[in-house]
Amino acid sequence: MSTFFVTGSNGFVGSALCNRLLSQGHRVRGLVQPSFPGYPVTGLEILEGSLEDCEVLKRGAEGADAVIHLAARAHVLKETETDPLIAFRAVNVEGTRRLAELAAKAGVRRFVLMSSIGVNGESSAPGAAFSEKDPPRPESPYAISKREAEVAIRQISSSTGLEFTFLRPPLVYGPRCPGNFLRLLKLVKLGLPLPFASVSNRRSLIYVENLVDAISSCALSPAAANQLFLVSDGEDLSTAELMRRLARLMEVPSRLLPFPAAPILAAGKLPGLRALDKLLGSLEVNSARIRETLGWRPPYSLEQGLSATAQWYEVTAIP
């Protein structure tokens, strides 16, 4: 049995991870913000606080075999900060640095950071999936802060011996998913005619249960020490095909109309329609390294993940 300190433990990914680790017989402490209700996890040792609370972070790291850092300032649709990058850096860079330094002092063996595929870039070229060998090309303030967090942890590792593992996932989906995938579910459920049939992009996704399985492997496997992994379900598809599959699973008609892709992609770059661009652009991930290094395979297929997500949306999210 190992002891883990998980930040963001009551979030979408964090709660699924904690449930997985607890089911494996591990001891899990979770950092939660009192202002964020999130999703309760039975059996979790709760520590209330933020990444600014050094004493709370010390208690979480003390005696832990690994710190799994999921908490972050995420994408904000209606940004109110004058300089968003400053706000992202305060949490995602300085908060991460603070936690890693305290983890190293506490004798923690490994620090697992949930980074972002955005560190590689916003979109991949046709037939050229992102890999760990690509030079970082973050564009958004969020992705820039995640890249800087990786750099900070590498520096701490080199001076303290703290092992690290970075994971850069693409869009994460599953029951209780937020963000762009939830918006896509709502769009499909409406059953309205949509001009997406001609969109021939390619996208990688990862089911939340596959992601937490990968995180668990990274926290436990000696081979994951000081590694960067890109991770996905391993089955890429177009947004049009994704919408057709979701429509079939939710038993609604798939009314996708042929329409030139260029105007749609251009519309996605207009103010307020950035999310559309994210769904229609290509973003492919090559996850060969984690499979070869750790022998990891996603335990669930894309079809199984989409089915579970559609069932949740039908039962829970629809009035």
Q: For 261-295, give the DSSP string.
A: HHHHHHHTTSTT-HHHHHHHS-B-B--HHHHHHH-
| Average pLDDT per 10 consecutive residues for the chain, totaling 319 residues | 97 97 98 86 96 97 98 78 90 98 99 98 93 97 98 99 99 94 89 82 97 99 99 96 96 85 58 59 96 98 98 81
Domain-located, residue 183: no
Has residue 36 been placed in a domain? yes
For residue 191, being part of any structural domain is answered with no
Q: Is residue 17 part of a domain?
A: yes
From the candidates 142, 207, 300, 313, give the one annotated as an active-site residue: 142
Supply the range of the domain harboring residue 224: 3-173+205-232+285-298
Q: How far apart are the first and last CA of the chain?
A: 42
The answer to the question of residue 165 being in a domain is yes
CATH number of the domain to which 19 belongs: 3.40.50.720
Decide if 185 contacts 309 (C-beta within 8 A). yes
In a domain, 303, yes or no: no
Instruction: With respect to residue 272, please indicate whether it lies within any of the assigned structural domains.
Output: no
The verdict on whether 173 is a catalytic residue reads no
- β-sheet bridge partners, residue 110: 66, 163
Count structural domains, the chain.
1
- pLDDT at position 194, please? 78
Phi and psi at residue 200, to the nearest 5°: -110, 35
